[in-house]
Chain A
Amino acid sequence: MNRLVLAELACTSLPPLSADIGQGLYAVLEPALDASQELIAVIAGRAAPTRGRVTLNGKTPFDHPDVRASIASVQAEEAPLPERTVLDAVTSTLALHPEASPARAVLERAGCAELCNERVERLSAREARSVALAIALAQPEPALIALHEPLATRVDPSVLRSALARAARRAVVIVTISRFEDSRALGGRVITVRPHGWREFSAARLGAHALRVRSDSAGELFTLLEGMPEILQVTRVGQKELLVHGEALEPLARIVAEQARRAGFALAGLCEQIDPYLLGSTPGLPHSGSQQVAIPADPKRPIYGAAERRR
């Protein structure tokens, strides 16, 4: 059984973090690129943490080559080995994993077959990450898979989903995602990074309605809204965005608007989120998307009445 332990882990852009994670798929919702990159680098043994400790099955990946051999990872920026073609680069990389499939098969399986004869230096950033993801998914029996934004590649999402679901039966699979929808779409458990620990996003607390709130003060607004009884759950879904869950739309919108007004935070947008991934009752929804509603100057005027009637 594979186990990843983070003990008071601290990095430049991450709050101190402790967690004990068994096998399974975890989508870590982390809007900040630096923090996401650093988390993947540290748990994959590609960088040493500033403070604290990361262990995979009792050993630190950074100091143990045998542990790193059982880790597949993809960072925000990837560069294949400096060979002539992508196929050569993948072949050279897979030489370090003797049990892996041949390079061409690995690229074909990930839907990147057309990159085989492409010159390595001509790859775009997205293509380079796709090649790295193809290699990561080809690694035989990894103990840990750590991926940064795997949906932002050329790899087919359905191939990725099934590969990750399969791997999660035996390995710890950690995926960092900046878009909330992507984290839900990948399946598994959605985790948000909080100081001193990870918090699991509760699917039971999705409620019937969700509001996407845009504000330059999203972080401060998050703190204000978090403890309110009418709000089932608040999640940061971007640098300047929150997703606020509740049972009734109008009170939800009113609370958000009132709290923002009281604290003097400007709201750049308030949308009803009707994406099936984001609501408790997914079946029967006519469509997904979001609907922007203007926030009235008069605090007594209904905010979402018109939008609800339209639905």
Chain B
Amino acid sequence: MNALSAGVQLAWTRARTPSLPLLLAASAALAVALVHFTESSLDAVLEGPVLGWTLPIVGYLIAQRVTDNQRLDHSLEPLARHGADRRRVAVGLLLVSAALSALTGGLLAIVTVSAAHEHFDAAWLRDLAATTLVASAAGLVYATWFWGASTIGRRGGGRLWALAGDLVLGAGSSLFALPFPRSHLRNLLGGLPPAGLSQRAAWLAFAILSALTTLNTLRRLPR
């Protein structure tokens, strides 16, 4: 078995707990409840509690599980001690958390959009496709974001700082919001853009954030 597949297996074993499907179900139920029992618009629900709050929190919890609540390099030791390359194992961990976060984003988007539309017509399909794509991409970005933040702190406490920063600073629209995924996610959902960026620039920001976080994390990890 190579280090990458061993990393994937380790991450999946750690993530595969009964709490994960329960968390997803609870998030989906919350999304439906918000759409039905509040007077907020679909955009407001998506930008606020569903994708603005729930997605990063679930992404954070997934990263916690996958890294076994440790710093990233320490969480790789069960395999690294047997000669597995830490960087490859770490990529294995990232793949699993990215897949789970993207799935969470997609699921939340599908449930929320479907709950908000009365008929499953062309408008529903258009909304569904656009929102699911943005939410899944945001899930991927959050996975790399928390994975990178896991290298900071004695026990990976950087994850919590990354979450707090995203929820607080990412909510703004100034230059300070630029490094945080939440500001670009809001832009892509049609909300207030950070520093007046276009939606195309938001996609680019997603790509740059993910690439920089991944490369910097891999560079910091010993082999």
Contact = CB atoms under 8 A, between A and B. Distances in A.
B14 A65 contact: no
Nearest to B9: A92
Contact of A69 (B1, B6, B9, B82): B82
B158 to A, nearest CB: 19
B167 interface: no
B13 A83 contact: yes
A44 B222 contact: no
A124 B77 CA distance: 20
B37 to A, nearest CB: 39
A69 B83 contact: yes
A71 to B, nearest CB: 8
Contacts of B85: 65
Contacts of A45: 81
Contacts of A48: 222
A183 interface: no
B6 A95 contact: yes
A286 B222 CA distance: 56
Given A62-B222, A63-B222, A44 B9 contact: no
A83 B9 CA distance: 10
A114 interface: no
B3 A65 contact: yes
B223 interface: yes
Given A63-B222, A65-B223, A81-B13, A95 B83 contact: no
A23 interface: no
A62 B13 CA distance: 25
B1 A64 contact: no
B1 A68 contact: no
B199 to A, nearest CB: 41
Contacts of A62: 222
Contact of B13 (A66, A82, A95): A82
A70 interface: yes
A179 interface: no
A93 B9 CA distance: 11
Nearest to B80: A68
B80 A95 contact: no
A102 to B, nearest CB: 15
Contacts of B79: 96
A148 to B, nearest CB: 13
Contacts of B222: 48, 62-63
Contact of A66 (B80, B83, B86): B83
A194 B79 CA distance: 33
B82 A68 contact: yes
B155 to A, nearest CB: 15
A97 interface: yes
A68 B80 CA distance: 8
Given A63-B223, A64-B223, A92-B9, A82 B81 contact: no
Contacts of A46: 77, 80-81
Interface in A21-79: 44-46, 48, 62-71, 73, 79
B149 interface: no
Contact of B82 (A64, A79, A82, A97): A97
Contacts of A63: 222-223
A65 B2 CA distance: 12
B49 interface: no
Contacts of B77: 46
A79 B83 contact: no
A75 to B, nearest CB: 9
Given A63-B223, A65-B80, A95 B10 contact: no
A66 B79 CA distance: 13
B13 A68 contact: no
B78 interface: yes
27 contacts: A46-B80, A46-B81, A63-B223, A64-B223, A65-B80, A65-B84, A65-B85, A65-B86, A65-B223, A67-B83, A68-B80, A69-B82, A71-B81, A73-B81, A81-B10, A81-B13, A81-B78, A82-B10, A82-B14, A82-B68, A92-B6, A92-B9, A93-B82, A95-B1, A95-B6, A96-B79, A96-B84
Question: Would you list the 6 A-B pairs with minimal beta carbon distance, nearest first?
Answer: A69-B83, A95-B1, A96-B82, A65-B85, A68-B83, A65-B83
